[in-house]
C-alpha cells in the first residue's frame, strides 16, 4: 500500500518541521501526526469487515464511505482525543487534525479522469472540487519523493537542529 505509506511519510515530515517551530512537539507526538495522516483511510476497514456483513448484522443500510470524508474524520479525531488524559487532549486533537489535513491535501492532488475530486469535504461542501491533479494513487513517484523528503528531514533534525537530543 504505497499510498498509505506516502501519507505516513508526509505526516512525519510535517510533524518534524512543526517540531522545529514548536518545542512542545516531542518525538512521541510525531507519532500522533503520523496516525492522524492515516485516519481518512479507515474506510478501508471494508477489506476486513465488508459493508454487507454490517448491513446484515444491523438490518439497516451501512457504508464505511463517510470515514473518508472530513466529517467522518473529524469524528474519529474527536474520539481519538478522548482516549488520552485530559492534559493531552487539545494537543492530540490538534496533531491528529494536522495529520488528517495533510492526508486530504495529498488526496486533492490525485488525478481524476473527470477532473472533479470526490466529495471529500462533506458535510461542509457536498460536491466535488474541480482540480486537475498531479498523480495517480498507483504511481510510485510520490512515495519516492515522500521517502526522500522524510529521510532528508530526519538527517537535518539529527545532525543540525537537535544534535544533542537524548533520543538520538
What are the tens digits of pLDDT across the range 56-99? Answer: 999 999 999 889 999 999 999 999 999 999 999 999 999 999 99
- Using the structure block, give the residue that is written with the C-alpha cell 537524548: 166
What are the tens digits of pLDDT across the range 145-167? Answer: 999 999 999 999 988 887 776 65
Distance from chain centroid for Cα 21: 21
What is the reported pLDDT for 165? 64
What is the reported pLDDT for 168? 47
The structural domains of the chain, with segments of one domain joined by +, span 2-161
Helix segments in 22-140, DSSP class H: 27-36, 51-58, 70-82, 89-108
What is the reported pLDDT for 88? 95
Distance, in Å, from the CA atom of 68 to the CA atom of 70, rounded to the nearest integer, reads: 7
Rounded to the nearest integer, the mean pLDDT of the chain is 90
Judge whether residue 5 has pLDDT over 90.
Answer: yes
Burial class, 165, CB count within 10 angstroms (exposed 0-12 / middle 13-18 / buried 19+): exposed
Lowest mean pLDDT among 20-24, 62-66, 89-93, 123-127: 123-127
Amino acid at each position: 500500500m504505497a499510498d498509505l505509506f506516502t501519507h505516513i511519510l508526509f505526516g512525519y515530515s510535517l510533524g518534524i518541521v512543526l517540531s522545529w517551530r514548536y518545542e512542545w512537539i516531542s518525538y512521541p507526538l510525531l507519532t500522533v501526526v503520523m496516525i492522524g495522516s492515516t485516519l481518512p483511510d479507515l474506510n478501508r476497514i471494508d477489506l476486513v469487515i465488508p459493508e454487507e456483513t454490517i448491513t446484515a448484522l444491523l438490518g439497516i443500510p451501512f457504508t464505511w464511505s463517510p470515514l473518508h470524508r472530513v466529517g467522518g474524520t473529524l469524528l474519529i479525531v474527536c474520539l481519538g482525543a478522548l482516549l488520552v488524559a485530559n492534559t493531552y487532549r487539545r494537543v492530540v486533537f490538534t496533531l491528529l487534525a494536522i495529520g488528517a489535513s495533510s492526508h486530504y491535501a495529498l488526496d486533492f492532488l490525485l488525478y481524476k479522469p473527470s477532473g472533479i475530486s470526490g466529495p471529500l469535504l462533506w458535510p461542509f461542501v457536498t460536491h466535488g472540487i474541480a482540480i486537475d491533479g498531479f498523480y495517480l494513487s498507483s504511481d510510485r513517484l510520490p512515495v519516492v519523493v515522500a521517502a526522500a523528503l522524510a529521510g532528508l528531514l530526519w538527517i537535518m533534525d539529527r545532525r543540525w537542529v537537535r544534535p544533542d537530543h537524548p533520543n538520538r
